[in-house]
Structure 1
Amino acid sequence: MAVERRTSDDVLLSTALENFYNAAEEMGLKDDLIEILSRSERRICVSIPVEMDDGTVKVFDGYRVVHSSALGPGKGGIRFHPQVTLDETEALAFMMTWKCSLAGIPYGGGKGGVCCEPLELSLKEKERITRTFAARIEPFVGAWTDVPAPDINTGAREMVWFMDTISKIRGQLEPAIFTGKPVSLWGSKGRTAATGLGVATCALEFLRVIGRDPKETTAAVQGFGTVGSYTAKFLHEAGVKIVAICDITGTYYCKDGIDVEKAMAHAHSHPKRLLEGYSQAGLEKSKPNDILYLDVDVLLPCAMEGVLNKANADKVRAKYIVEGANGPLTPEADEILKSKGIPIVPDFLANSGGVIGSYFEWCQNLAGFFWTEEEYNARLVPIMKSNFQRVWEYSKEHNVEMRRAAFMVAIKRVADAVEMRGVFL
């Protein structure tokens, strides 16, 4: 009897489930494995009471989900954002399972988040939220159980607060629980740029297999946080002309190419890490979403999920899409873009450089031995190239889109592990 499909009102979770079910059924996965892998192992909801600077107390909602530990500890970031929900967190954990599997690293999928507006918080308020959230999830995280990392609106500073809080609770240093820490406190050289380097590497590998010269290619990068900025940087260094970048303050377009280094320096010096006020000769500014519809060779959405959907996908004029964000396309957008003949390099292949980099940091923390940035990148780039090639070849061999091919490769590895380990009685 066919497995009854889970459903969700959350767009991202619905997308993740639909992609999984379609790939699993196409590859003939057993019903019991489909049933197991369609559900998360652990979903945690916590309340986070925090004293604000004005003396009032606010209670924030926090979540941590582990979808699968079949291959190893849960792995995935913690985001601070006003739209964080349990369903969104589960969807992101779900996708992390396939990302880690596809990357060939010994992790399962996890994700976490706190529903808050970071732009309205003082530094001390953000620290209180972080440390209280850390204390609430402390029983469920560990170097061999669940290893969180930075995500939207969190970074090295927050990872130090997380690590320090749990280390004090346990009475011993616990550096391997959290990755994405600063180099000065058990972090890893190369980690900051890892996701962007991975996205750029996949984009360049795609251009290589289709026989296109990077120096004759234009690109637009949506989102200019850590992922988007470093993606633009490495593509620019490879000769790709970055004609547009954007963040919440707008789209910044220049037909002669954006000065990526100058834009990164500007954003880094801005108090809120934004492009607001950036200028260069020939620059035109427009609405943030305008970047999605530019006539470029490669569009790289590196910001939020669901930015391309049934309402706007038909407006896309790019020839190719490389997904830097998690779930930037809905299934409806996928179908529209497929009908337009636009190839897509999927998110959990393209942006897996971050989690591979986290794995490197975790290994160094466990060993207490650290690598140079050159050693780090020398390990990362070949893995990204190999993973891309494996998915590309699978897609051609089985005549499926790259997203479906990536899902099939990733699902098989996790399903094999579940089957070998069996059901605990």
Structure 2
Amino acid sequence: MSENIKPGSVSSLSYVNPVPGSPWDTYLSQVDRVMPYLGSLARWGETLKRPKRALVVDVPIELDDGSIAHFEGYRVQHNLSRGPGKGGVRFHPDVTLEEVMALSAWMTVKCAAVNLPYGGAKGGVRVEPKQLSKKELERLTRRYTSEIGIIIGPHSDIPAPDVNTNAEIMAWMMDTYSINSGATATGVVTGKPIHLGGSLGRVKATGRGVFVTGREAARRIGLDLQSARVAVQGFGNVGSVAAELFAEAGARVVAVQDHTGTLINEQGFDMPRLIAFAKSEGGIANFKEGQRCDNEEFWNVKADILIPAALEGQLTAARANRVNAKLVLEGANGPTVPQADDILAERGVLVVPDVICNAGGVTVSYFEWVQDFSSFFWTEDEINQRLDRIMVGALNHIWEKADQHRISLRTATYAVACERILMAREERGLYP
């Protein structure tokens, strides 16, 4: 049976000897690079390399035809030293435990980088949701929620949307948890529909955070957005919103790639038209106002700003050698492998790392959580102003650390975040 074990499954899991090239392997490499900058706190460094809790669950559901199907689900709480776990849930056929571990760890770093009172968590179910009917998807969501219900809660671990999950799925999760606990608990998830305690500005928050950090980084390196060329990989909630905001700021979005294909338009895409088309057609491939090209050609496009906003591991060493951008904004989690990081640095390409660049989503999730507890809700303008202030302040602090030690923004982000995480770990002590 061993030959049938998927990398990242329970039987092949190793915290300290990960599958080479896996997301967890990438994360561990990033942690190793920050250790020299943690001073006496480095004695706690192993804490960062071991998830606090990893739950693997069987998710059986009855399909519409009456048959029974089983899916494997995960919820990982990486670190809770600074507060309850926070992190999304993804439904994807390639989800593995190692991937979810890495995503939960990046959430730990991300929350600490912007100084939110959260630890890091993440969840997922290995499933192709497009093959399920809406009723089957609801059954899957509710069963998964019931199975992980022993560790989630408004004060312990708060899920949110991620790949292939949305506000409706969050509503099902909230309802299931509330029924099982005997009281409505709006704060158990974020990213909910507005009328169920969701927050204004949440849907666009991650993409907006990418834009805000990109705008500040461009200003620091003397890049004028009015003449900037932008290439975006991934045209979902993050990539499309970031592209829209850059276009509104005067930049030209000249290349876009999603799961259906790659399009190039040297004059710049009409973003409202492209976004509307992608939503109605399920992808960009057949949009007429662009030239269709091979997916690998995307990485050769001449652009000032590159935004990888798809899945992890997309910016490989080979692709990094072909990148023509001055600035890389990581809209996705873990899109750049460590070897590619080194190549981009050698070539003088500035990378704004995921753990600060795409932290807008979790920041507004925090706003939603706070609003749910107080039953008092802010306007969208207030949300956006608070988000901008937090993102700019966090990036400025990280930039000072980078300048002080002459290190990359990624290592500086980890230095700031890991110092906060390990200080909390040290001050709380070990029990018993």
Where structure 2 has 5 or more consecutive residues not aligned to the other structure, the ranges are: 1-14
Quote the Cα distance in structure 1 between the aligned partners of 2:349 and 2:47.
Answer: 33
Superimposed CA distance per residue, residues 152-179 of structure 1 (whole angstroms, 9 cap, x where no aligned partner): 0001010001001111111110110100
For 1:415 and 1:26, the matched residues in 2 are separated by 12
Query: How far has the Cα of 1:412 moved from its partner?
Result: 0.4
Secondary structure in structure 2 of the residue aligned to 1:317: coil
Residue 423 of structure 1: aligned partner: 430
Query: Do the aligned residues in 2 keep the contact of 1:249 with 1:288 (CA within 8 Å)?
Result: no
The reply to whether residue 100 of structure 1 matches residue 117 of structure 2 is no
Looking at structure 1, the residues matched to 140 and 280 of structure 2 have their Cα atoms a distance apart, in angstroms, of 25
1:140 match: secondary structure: coil
Aligned length: 417
Are 2:172 and 1:161 equivalent residues in the alignment? yes
Q: Per-residue displacement from partner, 1:297-328 (whole Å, max 9, x unpaired)?
A: 11000010000113332122222211110000
Q: Supply the distance in 1 between the matched residues of 2:295 and 2:189 (Cα, whole angstroms).
A: 33
Compute the displacement of 1:395 (Å): 0.7
Task: Give yes or no for the alignment of 1:332 onto 2:339.
Answer: yes
For residue 31 of structure 1, report the CA deviation from its aligned partner: 5.0
The correspondence for 2:284, drawn from 275, 280, 285, is 275
Aligned: 1:299 with 2:309: no
Q: Which residue of 2 aligns with 1:183?
A: 194
Instruction: Say which SS state the counterpart of residue 315 (structure 1) adopts.
Output: coil
Is the aligned partner of 1:322 residue 2:333? Answer: no
Cα offset, 1:145, TM superposition: 0.4
Q: Which residue matches 2:11?
A: none
| SS of aligned partner of 1:414 | helix
Kept in 1: contact 2:41–2:423 (CA 8 A): no
Shift of 1:27: 2.9
1:213 Cα deviation after fit: 1.2
Mapped partners of 1:218, 1:29: distance in 2: 44
State the Cα distance separating 1:372 from its structure 2 match: 1.0
Corresponding residue of 1:364 = 371
Would the alpha carbon gap of residues 29 and 291 (structure 1) be closer, same or farther in structure 2, given more than 3 Å must change?
farther
Q: Secondary structure of 1:327's match?
A: coil
**More deviation in 53-62 or 23-32?**
23-32
CA drift at 1:29: 4.5
2:61 aligned counterpart, secondary structure: strand
Q: CA deviation at 1:20?
A: 0.7
Give 1:204's match in structure 2, choosing from 212, 215, 219: 215
C-alpha displacement of 1:220: 0.5
CA shift, 1:291, in A, is 2.0
- 2:349 pairs, out of 342, 349, 357, with 342
Q: Does the 8 A contact of 2:90 with 2:125 survive in 1?
A: yes
Deviation at 1:30, TM superposition (A): 4.0
Equivalent residues of 1:24, 1:411 under 8 A apart: no
Residue identity matched to 1:147 = I
Structure 1 residue runs of 5 or longer lacking an equivalent are none
The amino acid across from 1:41 in the alignment is K
- Structure 2 distance, partners of 1:314, 1:276, is 26
Q: 1:40 aligns with which of 29, 46, 51?
A: 51
Alpha-carbon distance in 1 for matches of 2:151, 2:74: 12
Equivalent residue for 1:64?
75
| Per-residue Cα deviation, 1:237-287 (whole angstroms, up to 9, x for no partner) | 1111111112111111110001111111112223xx32242222xx10123
Identity %: 42
- Cα distance in 2 between the residues matched to 1:7 and 1:15: 12
**1:16 equivalent in structure 2:** 27
Structure 1 residue 393: Cα displacement? 1.6
The runs of 4+ residues in structure 1 deviating greater than 4 Å are none
Return the TM-score normalized by structure 1. Answer: 0.96
SS in 2 for 1:312: helix
TM-score, with structure 2 as normaliser: 0.94
Equivalent-residue separation in structure 2 for 1:62 and 1:289 (angstroms): 32
Query: Is 1:79 the equivalent of 2:90?
Result: yes
The alpha carbon displacement at 1:35 in A equals 1.9
